[in-house]
Structure 1
């Protein structure tokens, strides 16, 4: 059997048992009352920035991994229901893959060699019930704390990085130095590659074929800094094609380290505000839906500067 390099890295960086044999939070354990209190200091203006793309038919999903864009349907309109006092009612529903837009990957989204995070067997995910361990609802109340945006695309001087561009730990440190802010334990790392800007300005055609993103070597840097969560403005956080298996960084971060990943986040408005005043940290909230047995979730993250 081929021994992929990411598996060796995963063994070295494993957090299995670090917070107990029954732990289902993983690196969210780095978020503590102290880190949340400290994160409040990053609120300077009180301005809020919502970081999702629209939930609807105009998203990037084209059938990859059996995903489609969300389907929104009205079930009751004001012409369907009225009351004698003139009251009208509207009602609706939505059908969507839980990971079709701005999303969080849970700890049963990716595993390998028969196991998910903390040694949970892959058989704990089944068609009818979903995940019985490491499900997305086990991550609640989710992330609330300090976020730091590293704008690698802006630092490189372009609107977006080229597909296949692998961001290294040196790139992250260069961006960190440029923004004058150092990530600390319990923070969320947000990485701007500009790939979202490409999709928003040029359309989604071909957007899922490849992407710039983090190289697997970044896992060691993320582990050392005790980052609680990583999110990016591309569709899969890590560079694609990856070269060492399908999603080697997912395998290390999710399966071995126990880290939720945020994908398809929109940093454009936030990045513009950060450039204006040179401040790149903020208070961030990102909470999954309480989906019993879910392996991922839509999310509407909010950064407060």
Structure 2
């Protein structure tokens, strides 16, 4: 057994001692059929921003937009508009081939269960360890440069050989293999609250759900529209942090009743069109705490993956016009072993 203590309110072990999917386990055959039953018009909506947005790194200095460039031949020539007649004089072909350097959680994304862990006494010996969902360990299961024997500049060299980091448990590839296809349910906070900054606790969330007759069942993927991604899109790659950090609805991770509802609801994943889903930093609290309490509750305790910066306007408008809130959601991440997050191009079908 990987742990003796599990955090209060956690579901560690409920899906098996070696589980790496958490509540994604609830997206099974029945949920796929429920999602398929929502397809009545045969219309699809792309729920991704262009992956070069927000633009720059003003919103998060660690995350940079993707950089496209050609692949290169051994002689240094770029494989873009490359005439194959240079290889075979009788060839009429022209080839373009490219590559990308990308920050995996820069734009529309999934957080894997390896994205956020915590210092917690999982061994029951009075000493805290750095652990992740289901007791997986930092250094042993989620490895960084020091675990691969790399230090300083060498750890960022991008050279061939072993990965510089790797989630050898809880990596994003687990979600990719599972499929991430089922029923999505939209709650349109932006329609009710506009784009003014507003902390959303359980009372506000349930008020909107009652007003729009939104019902959530176990295994559903809950999707929240706040208007944030729409504001990002309007800024055209030049995001204004002073505006965006004070705009749109955002979940209050300090609302214990909201966290309890997330537990009781049985949702398999939680997605939003904003940065972080929850307010960051969270409202002040004294003593030992998480500064990302909703991430802590969902990723660390319950194994609920989070989706961020999804684009929802056209889907939301269509659902509202047709008196619906449910749709079929297809949203697999990249099958990139060891990654702690991934770009995603979710598709809603109605």
Q: Give the alignment's TM-score, normalised by structure 1.
A: 0.89
**Which of residues 330, 333, 336 is equivalent to 1:291?**
336
Q: Indicate the residue corresponding to 2:109 in structure 1.
A: 103
Preserved CA contact (<8 Å) 1:208 1:235: no
Aligned pair 1:226/2:266, yes or no?
Answer: yes
Picking from 180, 191, 196, the partner of 2:229 is 196
Tell me the CA shift for residue 219 of structure 1. Answer: 2.1
Contact 2:269–2:306 (CA under 8 A) maintained in structure 1: yes
The answer to whether the aligner puts 1:161 opposite 2:196 as a matched pair is: yes
Q: Does the CA contact (< 8 Å) of 1:151 and 1:191 recur in 2?
A: yes
Q: How does 1:65-144 map onto structure 2 within 5 Å? A: 66-75=62-71, 76-82=79-85, 84-113=90-119, 114-123=130-139, 124-127=141-144, 128-139=164-175, 140-144=177-181
Could you tell me how far 1:187 is from its partner in structure 2? 0.3
Partner residue in 2 for 1:3 = none
Distance 1:260 1:67 in 2: 20
Distance in 1 between residues matched to 2:206 and 2:34, nearest whole Å = 22
Aligned residues of 2:187 and 2:214 also touching (Cα < 8 A): no
- Please name the residue that 2:37 is paired with: 41
1:253-282 CA-partner distances (Å, limit 9, x unpaired): 001111110001000111111122121110
Contact 1:185/1:227, CA 8 A, preserved across alignment: yes
Question: In the alignment, which of 267, 271, 277 is matched to residue 237 of structure 1?
Answer: 277
Counterpart secondary structure, 1:303 = strand
Deviations 1:44-89 (A, max 9, x none): 2110001111123763633726210111113322245445241111
The aligned counterpart of 1:303 is 348
8 Å contact from structure 2 (residues 53, 232) kept in 1: no
Q: How many residues align structurally? A: 292
CA–CA separation in structure 2 for the residues paired with 1:260 and 1:174: 24
Structure 2 CA distance, aligned partners of 1:63 and 1:295? Answer: 20
Q: 1:180 to 1:57 in 2, by over 3 A?
A: closer
Task: Identify if the C-alpha distance between structure 1 residues 161 and 191 changes in structure 2 by more than 3 Å, giving closer, same or farther.
Answer: farther
Q: Does 1:172 align with 2:205?
A: yes
Q: Does the 8 A contact of 1:51 with 1:301 survive in 2?
A: yes
SS in 2 for 1:197: helix
- Give distance in 2, aligned partners of 1:55 and 1:191: 20
Shift of 1:224: 0.7
Change over 3 Å in CA distance of 1:201–1:63 after alignment to 2: closer
Q: Secondary structure at the match of 2:33?
A: helix
2:76 matched to which residue of 1? none
What is residue 23 of structure 1 aligned with on the other side?
19
Contact 1:283 1:303 in 2 (8 A): yes
Secondary structure of 1:37's aligned partner? helix
Structure 1 residues 210 and 277: alpha-carbon distance in aligned structure 2, compared to 1, 3 A threshold: same
Using the alignment, how far apart are the partners of 1:208 and 1:47 within structure 2?
A: 31
Counterparts of 1:74 and 1:257, CA distance in 2: 42
User: Residues of 1 paired with 2:174 and 2:82: CA distance?
Assistant: 41
Kept in 2: contact 1:46–1:304 (CA 8 A) = yes
Q: Is the 8 A contact 2:81 2:94 kept in 1?
A: yes
Structure 2 gap ranges (5+): 1-5, 72-78, 120-129, 145-163
Distance 1:222 1:28 in 2: 14
User: How large is the Cα RMSD of the aligned pairs?
Assistant: 2.0
